[in-house]
Amino acid sequence: MNTTLRIFLLLLLPLITACQPRPTGTAITNVTLIDAVSGVRRNQNVVFDGDQITAVTSSDTAPATQRTIDGTGKFLIPGLWDFHVHLTFDDNFTDSMPALFLSYGITSVRDTGGLMHKMLPVVEKMRSKDAVAPRVFFSGPLLDGDFVVYDGESRPEIGVRNSTPDEARAAIAELAAQGVDFIKIYEMVSPAVFDAMIETANELGLPIDSHVPLSMRARVAGPSVDSIEHLRNIEMDCASNAAELHETRLELLENPNGMPGAELRSSLHSLQRLPAIGTYDEEQCDQTLAALGSTMQVPTLRLGAFSLARPFRRDDWEAALSRIPPKVREEWQASANSMEQVQEYIEFGEWAIFLTGRMNSRGIPIGAGTDTPILLAIPGYSLHSELEFLVRAGLSPLEALGSATVRPAEYFALQDEIGTIDPGKKADLVLLDANPLQDIANTKKISGVVTKGVYYDREALLARLETR
Ligand SMILES: [Zn+2]
């Protein structure tokens, strides 16, 4: 080193010492880490600073951070996703949903359907600086066909009509310009409109979510899309007479009596769903599942198998219900009280659990979504019910955690940024009082939540609900 440089550095030295920054960041110490990639790591310190995990080390070394949270005896998992929600489904609920999600450890949500004029302000608010809200990814409206199911008549208006391929192309280009993260294709589109949607979304680099259109077979539509919701209409393609069922649907979709979209769809479900399950053919179904090999399935068992574990029968239901807006609470209590068991729903629920297990064992990626707030789904609370259902279907507790962390991240090609507990990943974490691998229901035993780099203990999150 030359002399001038040495003198310069020596002069600088006291300056450097004087400016030593005070420690920043937060450490959760001596905690057991559990994520779907690395499995279990005991006695670890996790340091995060700003919106990033900066270090994961053995708990032997003391962290130099501004704040320390003792994780002794506790378990740290990545922040959870609810991969199927509708923030704008019920205007009385929209404002309360972000805080509810966080109070249950849900730090990211994928909104799978809402009109843009409602969605855009909600997304803008959730993404604004200092907003205490989950990360949000949204599709805009359900892109339906000639007949629209969610048309604002018998159901809330969250769907839009696409009668021709040209209309479909224009609609998707417009959504892309408005900033959607993916698109959602709905059940009544024709094959020609479906193809135009796929082509346009691929050109624009948008992930594609879909129901299986009733005009198509699951094995034909499935491989073109990135995720399929509710396992819906897959049963029709697992029947011994799948081709024949498809022909019948095509005839009925001509809709000579001019039924409204919702009614037309329901009539086809009623006509084919249970008979198809009754004529389940393993060989047919294996062909369908082979075609769906890389299409993520979001079975929403909480919804589809609702009758097998009704939420209002759960011990913690009343407490959870007490935290939702009073107007919604009253409506839900009334509908829970008048709800009767329907054999058809029980049968579909059992089928949905069976098929989910079969898909998982064949390596089809599974995502955890609830359809919140549809059918008494309390935001956040219901995701934990979904995890329980996924374990009941045959996923290991670690796989179930993966379905609410790593899988959603992969869907948006964000696996390098989110979904596991590693340096460089976003600081979204949930601190649990009990081991979720021993009992998946332990994901509800929340001690604290880190969202976008800020730690809140559970009391603080609950208090946020009350001051709303
Ligand atoms: Zn939905």
Ligand 1 center–CA 205 separation, angstroms: 22
Ligand 1 center–CA 85 separation, angstroms: 6
At 216, the pLDDT band (50, 70, 90 cuts) reads very high
Ligand 1 center–CA 105 separation, angstroms: 21
3-state secondary structure at position 371: coil
- Do the bridges between strand 159-160 and strand 183-185 make them parallel or antiparallel, or are there none, so unpaired? unpaired
Average pLDDT over residues 355-378: 97
At 418, the pLDDT band (50, 70, 90 cuts) reads very high
pLDDT at 146: 95
Q: Which residue is associated with the tokens 């604002």?
A: 152
Stretch among 9-13, 111-115, 132-136, 309-313 having the lowest mean pLDDT: 9-13
End-to-end alpha carbon distance in the chain: 62
pLDDT at 306: 92
Q: Classify burial at 100, counting beta carbons within 10 Å of its beta carbon; exposed 0-12, middle 13-18, buried 19 or more.
A: buried
Cis before 373? omega within 30: yes
3-state secondary structure at position 404: coil
3-state secondary structure at position 428: coil
Ligand 1 center–CA 139 separation, angstroms: 11
- Cβ(151)–Cβ(81) below 8 Å: no
In whole angstroms, give the CA distance from residue 161 to residue 193.
Answer: 11
Ligand 1 center–CA 192 separation, angstroms: 23
pLDDT tens for residues 164-210? 999 999 999 999 999 999 999 999 999 999 999 999 999 999 999 99
pLDDT at 182: 98
pLDDT at 47: 97
Ligand 1 center–CA 81 separation, angstroms: 15
pLDDT tens for residues 34-81? 999 999 999 999 999 999 999 999 999 888 999 999 999 999 999 999
Q: Among residues of the chain, what percentage have pLDDT more than 70?
A: 95
Record the tokens describing residue 166, joined without a space.
Answer: 């040209």
In whole angstroms, give the CA distance from residue 233 to residue 238.
Answer: 9
Ligand 1 center–CA 40 separation, angstroms: 33
Q: Is the pLDDT of residue 213 over 70?
A: yes
> How far, CA to CA in Å, does 385 sit from each of 367, 400, 405, 440?
14, 11, 16, 9
- Cβ(436)–Cβ(397) below 8 Å: yes
Stretch among 166-170, 370-374, 385-389, 461-465 having the lowest mean pLDDT: 461-465
pLDDT at 130: 86
At 10, the pLDDT band (50, 70, 90 cuts) reads low
Average pLDDT over residues 462-467: 80
Q: Is the pLDDT of residue 397 over 80?
A: yes
Ligand 1 center–CA 370 separation, angstroms: 8
Q: Is the pLDDT of residue 415 over 80?
A: yes
pLDDT tens for residues 319-351? 999 999 999 999 999 999 998 888 889 999 999
How many Cα atoms sit within 13 Å of 333 on the Cβ side?
A: 12
- Residue 53: beta bridge partners? 48
Instruction: Determine if residue 396 is left, alpha or beta; phi over 0 gives left, psi from -120 to 50 gives alpha, anything else beta.
Output: beta
Q: Is the pLDDT of residue 235 over 60?
A: yes
Ligand 1 center–CA 185 separation, angstroms: 11
Rounded CA Rg of the chain: 24
- 217's CB contacts (< 8 A; 6+ apart) are 236, 237, 242, 243, 246, 288
Residues within 5 A (CB) of ion ligand 1: 112, 371
Ligand 1 center–CA 26 separation, angstroms: 37
In whole angstroms, give the CA distance from residue 217 to residue 237.
Answer: 6
Ligand 1 center–CA 388 separation, angstroms: 19
Ligand 1 center–CA 58 separation, angstroms: 42
pLDDT at 244: 98
Ligand 1 center–CA 19 separation, angstroms: 54
Length of the chain: 468
**pTM recorded for the entire structure:** 0.94
In whole angstroms, give the CA distance from residue 105 to residue 135.
Answer: 12
Ligand 1 center–CA 240 separation, angstroms: 29
Record the tokens describing residue 86, joined without a space.
Answer: 């509708």
- Cβ(389)–Cβ(315) below 8 Å: no
Ligand 1 center–CA 441 separation, angstroms: 24
- Higher pLDDT: 466 or 128? It is 128
pLDDT at 295: 98
Ligand 1 center–CA 208 separation, angstroms: 14
pLDDT at 464: 87
Ligand 1 center–CA 328 separation, angstroms: 18
> How far, CA to CA in Å, does 54 sit from each of 24, 243, 364?
11, 54, 33
Record the tokens describing residue 448, joined without a space.
Answer: 């604290």
Per the prediction, the chain carries an average pLDDT of 94
At 5, the pLDDT band (50, 70, 90 cuts) reads low
- Do the bridges between strand 183-185 and strand 208-210 make them parallel or antiparallel, or are there none, so unpaired? parallel
Ligand 1 center–CA 84 separation, angstroms: 6
pLDDT at 349: 96
